[in-house]
Structure 1
């Protein structure tokens, strides 16, 4: 099973790169910011130089943070940061304020398969919600203007759920 980990992480990189593009589409949606509609709070970089941070508190106490360059998933103390271009989990300490994703990607590597699996499952749930709200056509349009799709519109949520399942096998 350990031999399959590099392949799983490569699949995670492709999915996350695509997903960051999709979140950008969701933010720029002409009918309104879909991340805000989902419950995310928007926080601009206080220096106005870097990407906006979106933060969502989940019912179980987990926290999700999104930037154009990655994803944080954890709790009030620490969590995993995943860079958009390299699905190499990094251990980061949570702060209440805006965090610089460029610094987060320099944090020490951290393989917490339980958190990674939960993060992927959450992304799958978000994509399932998006599909219910806006349908396949919306995601197809988003994918048509972005990077080469890692997953077709109909299978995005399932792709994330499968990645979560594959990572959970290491727990």
Structure 2
């Protein structure tokens, strides 16, 4: 069943995979495909590096252990936390500083009615990019590589998606959200809410 709990498990596993791709023995895969790495300053040494990729002339994706930010110069920005899968919107399409922790993120809100469509488009763009990322991993590194990165993740206590189903699962989720965005994007709210309060997992320096 494709629901928010299922999507949360899929996203958490994906973030784990990115952490393993950074540690790849043959070289940091994120850097190889064009991500920019920003290392933490001296006063933030406890934080992991920030990875950002421009996926086109106006859109950027930033990966963190606690979630993902996508910013589009025409639509604004969206953050989706690792736990909960509740997209939150900001009119800012660019971050003021690298998000070393959730405290460095701008305040996000559940979108209002006018912001629902740009939020949905940002979310769908992000999920389609993740699907393409996994297809490229299998094409260039092989399915056995992704299987091996998931061995430690699959400890019997966490939701698990086999390597062979990861890309297709992102496509299924994209289709489900496109068919009924109101079921996935909570409308509200006048008060800003925190982007999340979970500690990082699966990220690397």
TM-score computed with the length of structure 1 as normaliser: 0.86
Question: Which residue of the other structure, out of 173, 179, 194, is the alignment partner of 1:169?
Answer: 179
Change (3 A) 1:51 1:107: farther
Displacement of 1:105: 8.8
Change (3 A) 1:60 1:163: farther
How is 1:111-126 mapped onto 2 (pairs within 5 angstroms)?
A: 112-126=119-133
List alignment gaps of at least 5 residues for structure 2. 182-205
Superposed CA deviations along residues 65-87 of structure 1, whole A, max 9, x for unmatched, are 00111111121473111111221
Does structure 1 conserve the Cα–Cα contact (< 8 Å) formed by 2:95 and 2:106?
Answer: no
Write out the 4+ residue segments of structure 1 that deviate beyond 4 Å after TM superposition. none
Please state if 1:160 is matched with 2:158: no
List alignment gaps of at least 5 residues for structure 1. none
Displacement of 1:10: 2.0
Displacement of 1:95: 2.0
Distance, in Å, in 1 between the alignment partners of 2:23 and 2:61 is 19
Report the structure number with the largest CA radius of gyration: 2
Distance, in Å, in 1 between the alignment partners of 2:110 and 2:63 is 19
Superposed CA deviations along residues 3-23 of structure 1, whole A, max 9, x for unmatched, are x9xx53222211110001000
Displacement of 1:96: 5.5
Please state if 1:134 is matched with 2:141: yes
Displacement of 1:59: 2.1
How is 1:12-27 mapped onto 2 (pairs within 5 angstroms)?
A: 12-27=7-22
Please state which structure has a larger fraction of its residues in strand. Answer: 1
Superposed CA deviations along residues 36-57 of structure 1, whole A, max 9, x for unmatched, are 1111000123322322210000
Please state which structure has a larger fraction of its residues in helix. Answer: 1
Matched residues, number: 166
